[in-house]
Structure 1
Amino acid sequence: MAKLLPDPSLYPSPREAMKAPPEDVAYVASIYTGTGIEKPDFIAVVDVDPKSPTYGKIINRLEMPNVGDELHHFGWNACSSALCPYAKPHIERRYLIIPGLRSSRIYIVDTKQDPRNPKLEKIISPEEVTSRTGYSRLHTVHCGPDAIYISALGGQDSEGPGGILILDHYSFEVLGRWEVSRGSQYLAYDFWWHIAHDIMVTSEWTTPRYFENGVDLDALLAGKYGNKIHFWDLAKRRHVEDVELSKDDRMVLELRPYHNPTELKGFVNTVVNTKDLSSAIWLWFLEDGKWQVRKVI
């Protein structure tokens, strides 16, 4: 009798995942943006098996059907968040969710039949994304316990607010905005969570007006680039608090929680300090019931 068991590639913590056998192929976004070449971006399939004669080489490529997507971050349809008590534990990790940063289009790619020869399964148009969410310029993908989450850096035009949209785990239908109450949050970039505590953390860059053509130095000095991280009630989808890192440290980007999922701590980077041009890494943590940050590097 067949048993309903979780996907064996899902692990209860990053520490456990690091003990797993290594992958033998990697998928790499390859883009033509800024090259002057009018060709579709593609996903390169790279052999990462050290025992293979084609180790380190591109062994296949999946071309997108459109020009100008600017593929960027992408992720799986399912991951270890499916092991949460209120999640969908029998969902299968097989699809890559690949958004276009510039086009706001989403590609769904199936890797199950032959991981070395992935197939395009579905395309979600930018018109559908924008009409259902009000968002554009899609960036980070995370597989949540209840849906697929994608961050968006802009609103319907070159302004904000940016935020998070969600897709159905099975049909990939665009379900709408994630936020019920966004509070003070306007700028967006990355997001992660302390999932055992029902807490989401988001960072902030700027609006499309100030990044699509490169950094705008006047806007940077005018404070148009973000300097905060935001904390949310993940279950209620409501903004709880924002914490300013400093007045001068700007472009708050990649979020990385502790590998121990019970710890309410994590790291985030800032790109530039407007006084001395330095970059920095910050620790966020909860102490005495209050979210705090400290520059550590």
Structure 2
Amino acid sequence: MNYSKVIHRLPVPYLGDELHHSGWNSCSSCHGDPTADRRYLILPSLVSGRIYVIDTKSNPSVPSLHKVVEPEDIIQKTGLAFPHTSHCLASGDIMVSCLGDKDGNAAGSGFLLLDSEFNVKGRWEKPGNSPLFGYDFWYQPRQKTMVSSSWGAPSAFTKGFNLQHVADGLYGKHLHVYSWPDGELKQTLDLGDTGLLPLETRFLHDPSKDTGYVGCALTSNLGHRLRGGPQMIQLSLDGKRLYVTNSLFSPWDRQFYPEMVQKGSHMLQIDVDTHKGGLAVNPNFFVDFATEPDGPSLAHEMRYPGGDCTSDIWI
């Protein structure tokens, strides 16, 4: 029985990448293109700046490395570094948020475009329309709007969390509102001190709605009983299975949850009662990454092969 077991491991060629978020080369936003194929996973490396492209179709149980986009190519063509969130676009391009320049300055943040062959095309936003800080982003095509959030300067957060850096202005508290797909910065929303470190950004799944949410990390309160704290989530297409991992970013994990770094992180399933409401931890599904051959490992992002209700952008 392989249920709740690791069935394959794909090592990447380099150490120190800090694989963080992931996304597909195509998803629901490409529904009008019959040739679109949800085949490749896009894996930005937050620290090294590489972007890995993983083939999940040739052998779904044994994903393989398809291509590596090197940081030198990205920097030369865009000036961007520290890639974070990736989303596919209806055009077939892939958009990746980048959190700074090669020196870790937040002033160099912006949005990278890859073409359908995973070549660097350039920047998405118009010149002079870079965000104050970078992190996550989400676009709502029917509203002709994209919203991006703010973590901090890579020169600060890669060294671990220092509260003085917040006072020094090295962390964000803003949401950036762009015209979609034009890339013009229309508005910068100051969330104040109660909105410091706004991270994950989501719109409602109804594409006609203009309502969205953002989680602000510094002022949030999260209860937990396992090592670490809940971080990334992935909801199944039927809305009944919510998967959770509990590693945020290894330098911060070492600072706040040293036991988790020593013993590994977890992946859990939360059952969602879509009829009566309510959540419950599934006692039969628990993945402990402490026993990985090269571990213990820190698990962050997850993806369903056939799509999900967490990362797909609905149009």
TM-score where L is the length of structure 1 = 0.71
5 Å-filtered alignment, 1:1-297, equals 53-83=1-31, 88-146=33-91, 147-160=93-106, 161-169=108-116, 171-183=117-129, 185-273=131-219
Cα contact 2:174–2:188 (8 A) shared by 1:
yes
CA 1:65–1:262: 2 relative to 1, 3 Å = same
Higher relative contact order (CA closer than 8 Å, sequence separation 6+) = 2
Cα contact 2:138–2:146 (8 A) shared by 1:
yes
Q: Give ranges in structure 1 of 5+ residues lacking alignment.
A: 1-52, 280-297
CA 1:181–1:239: 2 relative to 1, 3 Å = farther
Cα contact 2:129–2:183 (8 A) shared by 1:
no
**Other-structure match for 1:283:** none
Cα contact 2:75–2:102 (8 A) shared by 1:
yes
Residue type of the partner of 2:115? Answer: D
CA distance in 2, matches of 1:75, 1:130: 21
Cα contact 1:181–1:239 (8 A) shared by 2:
no
Percent of aligned pairs with the same amino acid: 39
CA distance in 1, matches of 2:21, 2:209: 26
Matched residue of 2:218: which SS?
strand
Q: Give ranges in structure 2 of 5+ residues lacking alignment.
A: 223-315
Q: State the 1:269 CA deviation.
A: 1.1
Cα contact 1:110–1:120 (8 A) shared by 2:
yes
Matched residue of 2:4: which SS?
coil
CA distance in 1, matches of 2:180, 2:104: 27
Matched residue of 2:30: which SS?
helix
Residue type of the partner of 1:187? Answer: F
Cα contact 2:99–2:133 (8 A) shared by 1:
yes
Matched residue of 2:13: which SS?
coil
Cα contact 1:252–1:268 (8 A) shared by 2:
yes
1:5-51 deviations in whole A, cap 9, x for unaligned? xxxxxxxxxxxxxxxxxxxxxxxxxxxxxxxxxxxxxxxxxxxxxxx
Residue type of the partner of 1:262? Answer: S
Q: State the 1:100 CA deviation.
A: 0.8
CA 1:90–1:197: 2 relative to 1, 3 Å = farther
Matched residue of 1:215: which SS?
coil
Q: Over the residues paired in the alignment, what is the CA RMSD in angstroms?
A: 1.6
Matched residue of 2:10: which SS?
strand
Matched residue of 2:76: which SS?
helix
How many pairs does the alignment contain?
220
Q: State the 1:159 CA deviation.
A: 0.5
Cα contact 1:82–1:144 (8 A) shared by 2:
yes
Structure in which a larger fraction of residues adopt strand: 1
Matched residue of 1:261: which SS?
coil
Cα contact 2:99–2:154 (8 A) shared by 1:
yes
Cα contact 1:255–1:269 (8 A) shared by 2:
yes
Matched residue of 1:59: which SS?
coil
CA 1:129–1:184: 2 relative to 1, 3 Å = closer
CA distance in 1, matches of 2:60, 2:77: 32
Residue type of the partner of 2:109? Answer: G
Q: State the 1:181 CA deviation.
A: 3.9
Q: Which runs of 4+ in 1 moved over 3 A?
A: 181-184
Structure in which a larger fraction of residues adopt helix: 2
Residue type of the partner of 2:137? Answer: F
**Other-structure match for 1:293:** none
TM-score where L is the length of structure 2 = 0.67
1:90-131 deviations in whole A, cap 9, x for unaligned? 211101111111110011111112110111111111101111
Matched residue of 1:232: which SS?
strand
Cα contact 2:44–2:52 (8 A) shared by 1:
yes
